[in-house]
Amino acid sequence: MLQPGIYNVTASTFTTNQTISFSFVVDSNNDSVISASYSGYTFTGTEATSEFDALMGLFGLQAYYSSEIGIFTDSAYFTNEGTSTMTFGTVSFPVTTYGLNSANEVVNYCGVSATITAYTLEVGTPPGTSLLFIPYIHFAGTSNGTTEDITFQITSMTLRS
């Protein structure tokens, strides 16, 4: 098992119109985010943590879906498909996967009405840290009249030596 240390993480988000690549440097020794970079900008300190949380933390789903994680793992709509060890670059850790209970799942929550046609959410915590990562999420459907098809995934993760 890897010891706590500093992780280099790269990720991408894909929509029908664009692809955006991200990179993070995360210190698992004190569960902090050293830097976050995307679209030509690099953030450090609390700004880096905010960017990380917005894209990878549990409540970061609010940035895309204006709701809390509970709705995206709620057994009324989604099935816990189990936990397995996955490898991202050179780092492996247990990841729990969630999928739809049924095709064209209708979700009504806090004023948001959505018909979800495709959905996969993976959630896990790398070794030596308590930082929650979303290694993969794919959401396709219509929410409050807007059709979306978004994928976010970690493309690589390495532990600095």
pLDDT in tens, the chain (161 residues): 445 678 888 888 887 778 888 898 988 777 788 999 988 899 998 898 888 877 765 444 444 444 455 677 889 999 999 999 999 888 899 999 999 999 899 887 777 788 999 999 998 888 877 777 888 989 898 887 888 888 888 888 888 76
CA distance 10 to 89: 9
pLDDT at 69 (0 to 100): 59
Give the per-residue pLDDT at 3: 54
Residue in 96, 80, 161 with CA at minimum distance from that of residue 133: 96
pTM, rounded to two decimals: 0.78
Which pLDDT value is given to residue 4? 63
Conformation bin of residue 45: beta by default, left when phi > 0, alpha when psi is -120 to 50 = left
Residue whose entry in the numeric block shows the structure tokens 């493309």? 155
In whole angstroms, give the CA distance from residue 80 to residue 69. 14
Q: Which pLDDT score, from 0 to 100, does residue 32 have?
A: 83
pLDDT recorded at residue 1: 40
Q: Would you say 48 and 41 are in contact if contact means Cβ atoms under 8 Å apart? A: no
